[in-house]
Amino acid sequence: MSYMLLPLRYRNALKLLACLCLVGAYPVAHGQATAVASTFYTCLRDSYQSDGSVLDSLMSGYEATLVELELLEGTAPADYRGLLQRIASGQRIEAAMPFRFRDRLRALPVDSTAWRACQLALERFRSDNPEAMLTRFLDRRDVLVTEGIRADLQASSLLDILGEAAFEHPFYRLQTYYLIDLQAGSAALPDLLPETVSGQAARYASRGANILRLYLNERTQTIVEDQLVSPERLAERVHRHAREFGREALYVVELELDVKYRQYVYLKDRIARAVNEVRDEYSRRVFGKTLTEASEAEKLLLENRFPIRVVLP
């Protein structure tokens, strides 16, 4: 029987089988990891009706619009990396675009079973190849999206992973389209979280749970919740509080009558060091760099997300 005469579900199954076979055969260890992205893009593309031609049409039309508006210099990999660099620099691209890519993408008819199977194959690859460029890209992108990082800082973070060769593949070119949408604060991106604490943390904050109360006695001992804590234990408590409440975190220090001001300053410095450790941890996870390596814009975001607010009652 001719391939085109097979029912659609059987054709999709054959494509997925081919995808899985190709994934296993790709010579990741031989320096061709970027080619794996093409395999998965083909799998995802073919999950759309008309054998993916509707997705091809959407992408080529969007690309042509970017070129026509001189937002994209050409269609070469270097041009796409240049577009990502422009987004990273803070240049607004979305204002000139007549439509949002993801709105059009979500309107395309897709075989949800085939799509999920592609995602499953992708997750299997990520699990088996943690050091592959595709895995590192997706891990970084997932964190950036979950944390609600704005478009320019996402682009800057992804530039550390994606070299020019990566943009030979539509899989990575798509990311620039999503970032252009994100610049507009698109309502079509409901999976992006706002840069605030979680709803649960906000509810706790309304009841004062965002306040970590510390008591400093004249012997320079710190008491938290009626317990004497060591410097190491204090750092752990501040770490946990900063992570849980983010920008809502507040540290209230009560002083015994004879405590000297320099002792209070010393305690503030210890709290500040602990919060900076949380900032550093977050920076490594989200931006792939230490706190000291972060750009001024990234440091500002970190300071806003994890403020050091130490006050007296």
pLDDT at 107 over 80: yes
Place of tokens 């190849």: 129
HEC profile of 49-77: CHHHHHHHHHHHHHHHHHHHCCCCCCCCH
Q: What is the pLDDT of residue 257?
A: 87
Per the CB < 8 A criterion, the answer to whether 119 and 202 are in contact is: no
d(CA 80, CA 166): 10
pLDDT at 6 over 50: no
- 50 or 191, greater pLDDT: 50
Question: How many CB atoms are located within 10 Å of the residue 169 CB?
Answer: 20
79-89, pLDDT tens digit by residue?
A: 999 999 999 99
pLDDT at 193 over 60: no
Contacts of 47 (CB under 8 A, 6+ apart): 12, 110, 111, 114, 115, 117, 118
209-259, pLDDT tens digit by residue?
A: 899 999 999 888 999 988 999 999 999 999 999 999 999 999 999 999 888
d(CA 236, CA 242): 10
pLDDT at 36 over 90: no
153-166, pLDDT tens digit by residue?
A: 999 999 999 999 99
- 20 or 177, greater pLDDT: 177
Q: What is the pLDDT of residue 20?
A: 42
d(CA 198, CA 130): 29
Q: What is the pLDDT of residue 191?
A: 34
d(CA 102, CA 155): 17
Instruction: Assign 207 a pLDDT band (cuts: 50, 70, 90).
Output: low
Contacts of 253 (CB under 8 A, 6+ apart): 214, 215, 216, 264, 267, 268, 310, 311, 312, 313
